[in-house]
Structure 1
Amino acid sequence: MPSYLLFATERYALPILQPLADALLATGHGVHALLVDGAAGATLSGGVQAVDVARAVALKPRAVFSAANWVPPFLGGAKVQLFHGFNVEKRDDARGHFRVRGLFDLYCTQGPLTTAPFRKLARQQGHFAVVETGWPKLDPLFGPEDAVAQDFRARAGGRPIVMFASTFTERLSAAPHLHEAIAAQIAAGDRYWLLTLHPKCAPGLFQRYRALAGDNALFFETEQLVSAQRAADVLLADTTSVVSEFAVQRKPVVTFRNRAPKPHMLDFDRPSWLPVMLDRAFAADEALQLAIASYADGIHPWRDGQSSQRVIAATEDLIAGRLGALRPKPRNWLRHLQIRRELGYWGRAG
Structure 2
Amino acid sequence: MEFNADATFVPGDWVPYFFPGIKVEVFHGMARNKRGHSSEDESDHYRIRGWFDLYCTHAEKDTAKFQELAEIHRHFSVAHTGWPKLDPLLRNAVQGPRDRAGDDLPVVFYASTFSRSVTSAPLLVKKIAELASSGRWKFIVTLHPKMDPAVVEQYRRLAGKHLRFVESDEDLLPIFPEADVMLCDTSSIMFEFMFLDRPVVTFRTKMPGPYLIDVNDVEEVEPALEKALGYPRDLMNETRALCNELHSFRDGKSSGRVLDAVEDFLLERKPGLRRKPLNLLRKIKVRRRLRRELKRGVRLSSQ
Shorter-chain TM range is: 0.7 to 0.9
> Following the alignment from structure 1 to structure 2, what is the Cα–Cα distance between the partners of residues 208 and 296?
33
Aligned residues: 281
The one of the two structures with greater contact order (alpha-carbon pairs below 8 A, sep at least 6) is 2
Other-structure match for 2:300: none
Secondary structure, in 3 states, of the residue corresponding to 1:267? strand
**8 Å CA contact retained: 1:89, 1:96:** no
> Does the 8 A contact of 1:82 with 1:109 survive in 2?
yes
- The partner residue of 1:88 within 15, 32, 45 is 32
Q: CA deviation at 1:60?
A: 1.4
User: What's the TM-score once normalised by structure 2's chain length?
Assistant: 0.86
Structure 1 residues 70 and 143, CA gap change in structure 2 (3 angstroms) = same
Confirm whether residue 162 of structure 1 aligns to residue 108 of structure 2: yes
Among all aligned residue pairs of Structure 1 and Structure 2, give the percentage whose two residues are the same amino acid: 40
Q: Quote how far apart the aligned CAs of 1:343 are.
A: 2.3
Secondary structure of 1:226's counterpart equals coil
Extract unaligned runs of 5+ from structure 2: 293-303
Change in Cα spacing, 1:215 to 1:67, as seen in structure 2 (3 Å) is same
The alpha-carbon distance between structure 1 residues 262 and 209, as it changes in their structure 2 partners (threshold 3 A), is: same
Unaligned runs of 5+ in 1: 1-56, 147-152, 346-350
Query: Are residue 131 (structure 1) and residue 79 (structure 2) matched?
Result: yes
Tell me the amino acid that sits aligned with residue 159 of structure 2: A
Which segment is superposed worse, 323-332 or 101-110? 323-332
Indicate the residue corresponding to 1:273 in structure 2: 220
1:14-25 equivalences under 5 Å are none
Counterpart of 1:114 in structure 2 is: 62
Task: State the superposition RMSD in angstroms.
Answer: 2.2
Find the counterpart in structure 1 of residue 153 from structure 2: 207
TM-score w.r.t. structure 1 length?
Answer: 0.75
Contact 1:237 1:253 in 2 (8 A): yes
Structure 1 pair 76–324 and aligned structure 2 pair: CA distance change class (3 A): closer
User: Which range moved further: 182-191 or 83-92?
Assistant: 83-92
1:1-350 paired onto structure 2 within 5 Å: 57-91=1-35, 92-93=40-41, 96-144=44-92, 158-222=104-168, 223-322=170-269, 325-344=272-291
Aligned mates of 1:324, 1:304 — CA distance in 2: 31
Kept in 1, the 8 Å contact 2:197–2:239? The answer is yes
Map Cα deviations across residues 225-244 of structure 1 (whole Å, 9 max, x no partner): 11122221111111111111
Secondary structure, aligned partner of 1:224: coil
CA contact (8 A) 2:33 2:188 kept: no
Partner deviation per Cα, 1:99-122 (whole Å, 9 max, x = no partner): 322101111112234323322322
- Structure 2 CA distance for aligned equivalents of residues 332 and 278 of structure 1: 49
Q: Distance in 1 between matches of 2:122 and 2:266?
A: 47
**Alpha-carbon distance in structure 2 between the residues aligned to 1:115 and 1:260:** 22
Amino acid at match of 1:229: F
Change in 2 beyond 3 A, CA 1:271/1:93: same
Q: Secondary structure at the match of 2:45?
A: coil
| Alpha-carbon distance, 1:145 to partner | 5.5
Residues 1:90 and 1:58: Cα distance change in structure 2 (over 3 Å): same
Name the residue aligned to 2:301. none
Q: For residues 326-345 of structure 1, give each alpha carbon's deviation from its aligned partner in whole angstroms, at most 9, with x where no partner exists.
A: 22212111211222233249
CA apart distance, 1:324:
7.5
Q: Is the 8 A contact 1:90 1:96 kept in 2?
A: no
